[in-house]
Amino acid sequence: MHISSLSVSTRMGKEQSVPIFRVPHTFQNLLTKNYPPSGVLTKPDRIPTGEEGNWLPFIRNEKEPLQNNWFCVKQPSSNDLKSNITWKQARDRETEFFAITAPWCELDEGYQKYLRTVNLIERSSLVLSDLISKRYISFSTTSIMEKIMLMRMPQAS
């Protein structure tokens, strides 16, 4: 089920609608309760010139806002993959792309943290660590409380 779409022109000049997918409502509350979502937009280098502005409201979390925001990443092209580009080379090219390509390089500094794979990884790591610590603390606290309750229970003779 998609909730909205971006209209983009292909390199051949044809208009194409690109759907933005979201988890069906029946699962949404369960997932967002346990894992606050982030959105990821890919292939910003494939957006026809002049249509990049359609993506900016997502990066600014104005359109379809998400608790952990939207991110935009540029992955290696098919040719890059065929030439066995390294992870570091891919990240360097991605950094260069976002540093010199409008409108990405023109975004306020506060929104730059939502561009690049390394920023997505960092944010995902923080969210995951937070979730793990909350679950571990919750489990540990429950376990300790159960032990205290068992110690207080009268022993059967």
pLDDT tens profile 104-119: 999 999 999 999 999 9
Q: What is the reported pLDDT for 154? A: 62
What's residue 157's pLDDT? 54
144 vs 70, 131, 139, 140, 141, CA distance in Å?
39, 20, 9, 6, 5
Q: What is the pLDDT of residue 23?
A: 47
Residue with more model confidence, 142 or 6: 142
Whether 122 is in a domain gets the answer: yes
- In eight-state DSSP terms, residue 34 is H
Nearest to 107 by CA among 99, 117, 96, 118: 99
- Identify the pLDDT of residue 119: 93
Total of domains in the chain: 1
- Alpha carbon dihedral 3, 18, 47, 90, in 10-degree steps, equals 90
Question: How much of the chain, in percent, has pLDDT values that exceed 70?
Answer: 62
Residue 157 counted as domain residue: no
Whether residue 80 has pLDDT greater than 70: yes
Does the pLDDT at position 135 exceed 60? yes
In a domain, 139, yes or no: yes
Q: What is the pLDDT of residues 22-48, one digit of tens each?
A: 444 444 444 455 556 778 888 999 988
Task: Work out the mean pLDDT of the chain and round it to a whole number.
Answer: 76
Q: Is residue 21 part of a domain?
A: yes
pLDDT at 85 over 50: yes
Would you say residue 10 has pLDDT above 50? no
Q: When comparing pLDDT for 138 and 128, which is higher?
A: 128
Q: pLDDT of 56-75, one tens digit each?
A: 999 999 998 888 889 999 99
Q: Which domain holds residue 67?
A: 2-152
Q: How confident is the model at residue 126 (pLDDT cuts 50, 70, 90)?
A: confident
